[in-house]
């Protein structure tokens, strides 16, 4: 499966924590965040998805914006994590890690023939 094939509901579920992670390394701007997410294997994140999320983060006090003049172009809005953003990232990372462990464990369990037969009977 290619990264472009990730189901959109999966991406919606992880986008917040992944964007926070991209911002955590250093102050950065929207296009660079999208490029980082794509390089990480999440596929192409559209501006219409990313920028409203960054605006919500601003309003919630999770990121702090700063306009910086560009050397060869217009000014860019850089984002950095606030203390609240760092706490949010730590909490979401821990929760995602626990959740993904549960899902991975569940998917790795061998299918029990009796359980499969019982499930089929219940849905018939």
Q: Is the pLDDT of residue 120 over 80?
A: no
Q: Is the pLDDT of residue 1 over 50?
A: no
Q: Is the pLDDT of residue 2 over 50?
A: no
Confidence of residue 106 (pLDDT cuts 50, 70, 90): very high
Look up the pTM and report it: 0.82
Alpha-carbon separation of residue 30 from 62, 70, 78, 96, 108 (angstroms): 15, 14, 8, 23, 37
Confidence of residue 23 (pLDDT cuts 50, 70, 90): very high
- List the strands of the sheet with 76-81, edge to edge: 28-29, 76-81, 63-68
Q: Is the pLDDT of residue 3 over 50?
A: no
| Alpha carbons 18 and 26: distance in angstroms, whole number | 14
Q: Is the pLDDT of residue 116 over 70?
A: no
| Alpha carbons 51 and 16: distance in angstroms, whole number | 12
**What percent of the chain is predicted at pLDDT more than 90?**
74
Q: Is 112 helix (H, G, I), strand (E, B) or coil?
A: coil
Q: Are 47 and 34 in contact (CB under 8 A)?
A: yes
| Alpha carbons 101 and 75: distance in angstroms, whole number | 42
Mean pLDDT in residue range 34-50: 95
């Amino acid at each position: 499966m290619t990264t472009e094939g990730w189901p959109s509901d999966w991406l919606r579920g992880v986008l917040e924590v992944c964007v926070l992670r991209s911002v955590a390394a250093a102050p950065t701007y929207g296009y660079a965040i999208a490029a980082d997410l794509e390089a990480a294997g999440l596929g192409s994140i559209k501006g219409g998805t990313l920028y409203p999320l960054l605006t919500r983060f601003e309003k919630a006090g999770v990121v702090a914006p700063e306009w910086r003049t560009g050397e060869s172009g217009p000014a860019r809005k850089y984002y950095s994590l606030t203390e609240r953003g760092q706490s949010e990232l730590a909490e979401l990372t821990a929760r995602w890690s626990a959740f993904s462990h549960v899902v991975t464990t569940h998917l790795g369990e061998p299918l029990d023939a009796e359980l499969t037969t019982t499930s089929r009977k219940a849905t018939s």
